[in-house]
């Protein structure tokens, strides 16, 4: 039997976002799945408690064959008892993002919003000025903002200054699967903002990338393409669900410090003993 089932202290600790306690540290996107059934099964297999969905994609799909995916999301949310995190993917200005956020709040009766404001068409890098502007207005209007940002410390500080309580820095450009391209910057964010929930969002392509993020001390990861584009999305979702928890448990247990030289693990002096 799994030792964690016998001893709950062997599970990673819970975490919270805007006062909501969460046990799973994997947030899952819903775009690009091969079928509604695969989407539903992947959400359940991942064990996620937060599912994100793009408002622009939903409205583009109305009457266009995407209704099956919407039904699959709703069904999986009910089965998991998970929360929906609408996002403003595709927005290019603060004004667009604010308007879409209001629509999300009306449709889904949630103050949560994953704020995305794209500033570059090639990298889909967030626009820091428009992002902070939109975040400030949304916080003032009662939204609980999850801003998708780069790993720039100053931008992150500005987002905190306007009232964001969670940050979602990228690991690499969206959908690139490159993993954590600047671990130093992510480590710096974690060290400088020790009490802020930090979620690595975008760029994760393999379970090993998620483990790396968790071992840096990040609270969670959000990913989509790594699961939806896998040969078997359901099994990949299960893999990510497990390694994210394992990575966090390893961080909490205390990963050993690397050494420049070999360090003997077997005593070379003293009396021998028999098992």
* CATH superfamily of domain region 22-253: Aldolase class I (3.20.20.70)
Q: Has 224 been labeled as part of a binding site?
A: yes
Q: Has 13 been labeled as part of a binding site?
A: no
Q: What is the DSSP string of 83-130?
A: EEEEE-TT--SHHHHHHHHHHHHHHH---EEEE--B--TTT--B-HHH
Q: Has 269 been labeled as part of a binding site?
A: no
Active-site choice (40, 69, 114, 209): 114
101 is catalytic: no
Q: Has 225 been labeled as part of a binding site?
A: yes
Domain limits of the chain?
22-253
Kindly give the confidence (pLDDT) of every residue in the chain, 275 residues in length, as a single tens digit, with 9 standing for 90 and above: 455 555 667 788 899 999 999 999 999 999 889 998 999 999 999 999 999 998 765 554 443 445 677 787 888 788 778 899 999 999 999 999 999 999 999 988 999 999 999 988 888 899 999 999 999 999 999 999 999 999 999 999 999 999 999 999 999 998 888 999 999 999 999 999 999 999 999 999 999 999 999 999 999 999 999 999 999 999 999 999 999 999 999 999 998 888 888 877 776 666 665 55
């Amino acid at each position: 039997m799994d030792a964690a089932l016998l001893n709950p202290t062997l599970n990673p600790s819970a975490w919270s976002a805007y006062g909501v306690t969460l046990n799973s540290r994997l947030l899952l996107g819903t775009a690009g799945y091969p079928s509604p059934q695969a989407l539903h099964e992947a959400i359940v297999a991942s064990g996620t408690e937060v599912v994100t969905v793009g408002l622009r994609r939903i409205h583009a799909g109305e009457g266009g064959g995407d209704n099956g995916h919407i039904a699959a999301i709703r069904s999986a949310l009910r089965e998991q008892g998970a929360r929906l995190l609408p996002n403003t993917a595709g927005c290019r200005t603060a004004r667009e993002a604010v308007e879409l956020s209001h629509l999300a709040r009306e449709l889904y009766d949630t103050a949560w919003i994953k704020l995305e404001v794209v500033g570059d068409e090639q990298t889909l890098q967030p626009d820091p000025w428009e992002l902070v502007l939109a975040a400030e207005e949304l916080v003032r209007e009662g939204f609980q903002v999850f801003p998708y940002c780069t790993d720039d410390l100053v931008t992150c500080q500005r987002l905190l200054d306007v009232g964001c309580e969670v940050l979602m820095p990228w690991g690499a450009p969206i959908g690139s699967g490159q993993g954590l391209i600047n671990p130093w910057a992510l480590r710096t964010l974690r060290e400088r903002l020790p009490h802020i929930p930090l979620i690595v969002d975008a760029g994760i392509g393999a379970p090993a990338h998620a483990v790396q993020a968790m071992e840096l001390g990040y609270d969670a990861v959000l990913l989509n393409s790594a699961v939806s584009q896998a040969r078997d999305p359901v099994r990949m979702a299960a893999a990510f669900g497990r390694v994210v928890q394992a990575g966090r448990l390893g961080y909490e247990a205390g990963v050993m410090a690397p050494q420049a030289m070999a360090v003997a693990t077997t005593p070379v002096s003293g009396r021998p003993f028999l098992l």
